[in-house]
Amino acid sequence: MRPPFYVRQLKRDLDDWIARGWVPATSRDMILGSVGGLGGRTSLAGVIATLGAVLLAAGAISFVAANWEAMSKILRLGVIFGALTLTYLLAALLFLRQMPHFAQAAILFGIAMFGAGLMLIGQTYHMNAGWPDGLMIWTLAAFAAAVIVPSRTALAAAIILTGVWTYFWLEDYGFARIHWAGLLALVAAFALAGWRQASAEVHLAFVALIVWLIWHAGILSDALGWSSAEVTAIYGLGALMVFLAGRVSNDTGFAYAHDLQRYGIAVTGIAVFCLHFTDLDGDTLISENWLVIAISAVLLAVLLARMAGARRQLLTSEEFAITGIATGIAAYPILLSHMGGALDLEMIYIVFAGLFIVWVIVHATRVEDRVIANLAFLTFGAWVIYLYTDVFQVLLDQATFFLIGGVMLVGLAILLEFVRRRVTAAEGG
């Protein structure tokens, strides 16, 4: 799927070309479909109806919960099954009346009613199945609705429920085991969202995957005997490879190549940032197999960069930059284990982080990715301020410190505006 601004521009151009008679009107949907501009569209009515369904569900559950004890068992079952049946019948009717957005909202309400039914049946029959088991059933039921109907709201609910299920599962096991089922569910969510061209759900699944990885960082560290720096580095290297996979598939028509690049580079950035704090737990010793893993990961990154380069998706200079970034990330745990929190390592880290941010800015500007470019500029600004306050505050007197700082910030703002204009002009917007 191409970036939204590109799809918007293409739609405008297509309408213009059709009006001029350059392009047959029958080709419009085919062309838009090839860039992911059809399907998966979110309407304002749909969003509002979905929010309404969420509020209605919360209200209905609260009302039932407040009056539950006053009801006989048969009435309770009647309420649970009646509400579920009425909701899905309403959804079916709305589909028949060609009101898909409202029907989707009704499906979401139905999934909420199913979850409420699970809890209320448990309460009625004094069943005390653990939270994770109940959430697993709820998640699977939402996935079933997402596949069978098919329903985007059900898919969104399934992704969110997967996150909640994973959290309670991990808590049940004391954050000591990997929740593979949650990861499998997210892979299924990616496949479903990709198949349905549901871009909002793809983003939701990416966010859920990132959260899943964050929750599992400590578990991986314990399970593999790795230090925090090693786990963070492997996350960073993995994300860099996701970015490179996005570049490699950029010209293949793969719908989510652009998203892979954005999330890949963003998570690589987060990992680079987090590397700085990995010595806080005091465990900086590298594991026996780290060198092999680190070299393998760097080689794989270099190979992917070469593939992207061969497809003209990366410049040769960028291939070298990728090699440097991968090597830097992989080497950090080794440097940390040998140098500890020494000032030399601090300087090496600052220079590395700065070079990484500069490369992201250069790359994002070249490929005209406004979101990543702006994000990188923001990070660059924060990095400069951090660097300035951390290093120069002790060297300069107060007045000079503020004066130079002010000049630097104004200069940074001018530079940012200059690049912003260049990117905007390149995009034609």
Partner 1 sequence: MIALRVLVVLILHVAILAGMIYTHIERLKAGRELTMTVEPVDPRDFFRGDYVTLTYAISRLTPKENETLEDWQRGDDVFVTLSQSEEGAWIADHLSRELLKNGDAPVIKGRVSWVQRNWTTATEAWAGEFEPNFARPLEVKPDRLCPGGCVEHIAVTYGIESYFVPQGEGRKIEELRNDGKVSIVIAVGDDGAAAIKALLIDGKRVYEETFL
**Residues engaged in binding partner 1 (CB under 8 A):** 69, 73-74, 77, 80-81, 84-85, 88-89, 91-93, 95-96, 103, 107, 110, 114, 117-118, 121, 123-130, 137, 141, 144-145, 148-150, 172-174, 176-177, 282-283, 285
DSSP per-residue string spanning 147-162: HHTT-HHHHHHHHHHH
Q: Give the whole-angstrom CA distance, residue 104 versus residue 142.
A: 12
Q: Which is nearer to partner 1, 175 or 273 (CB)?
A: 175
Q: Give the whole-angstrom CA distance, residue 39 versus residue 194.
A: 11
Q: Supply the minimum distance, in Å, between the C-beta of residue 255 and partner 1.
A: 23
Q: Supply the minimum distance, in Å, between the C-beta of residue 17 and partner 1.
A: 34
Q: Which is nearer to partner 1, 95 or 273 (CB)?
A: 95
Q: Which is nearer to partner 1, 84 or 345 (CB)?
A: 84
Q: Supply the minimum distance, in Å, between the C-beta of residue 156 and partner 1.
A: 16
Tokens of 164: 């909640």
For 289, phi then psi, to 5°, come to: -90, 5
Cα 277 to the center of its chain, rounded Å: 22
**What is the CB neighbour count within 10 angstroms for residue 18?**
15
DSSP per-residue string spanning 104-147: HHHHHHHHHHHHHHHHHHHHHTT----HHHHHHHHHHHHHHHHH
Q: Give the whole-angstrom CA distance, residue 316 versus residue 366.
A: 13
Q: Which is nearer to partner 1, 91 or 198 (CB)?
A: 91
Q: Supply the minimum distance, in Å, between the C-beta of residue 172 and partner 1.
A: 6
Q: Supply the minimum distance, in Å, between the C-beta of residue 335 and partner 1.
A: 20
Tokens of 64: 């039932």
Q: What does each C-alpha distance from 161 to 132, 168, 222, 280 come to in angstroms?
A: 11, 11, 26, 33
Q: Which is nearer to partner 1, 80 or 297 (CB)?
A: 80
Beta carbons within 8 Å of 269's beta carbon, 6+ residues apart: 356, 357, 360, 375, 376, 379
Q: Supply the minimum distance, in Å, between the C-beta of residue 144 and partner 1.
A: 6
Q: Which is nearer to partner 1, 84 or 348 (CB)?
A: 84
Q: Which is nearer to partner 1, 227 or 261 (CB)?
A: 227
Q: Supply the minimum distance, in Å, between the C-beta of residue 116 and partner 1.
A: 10
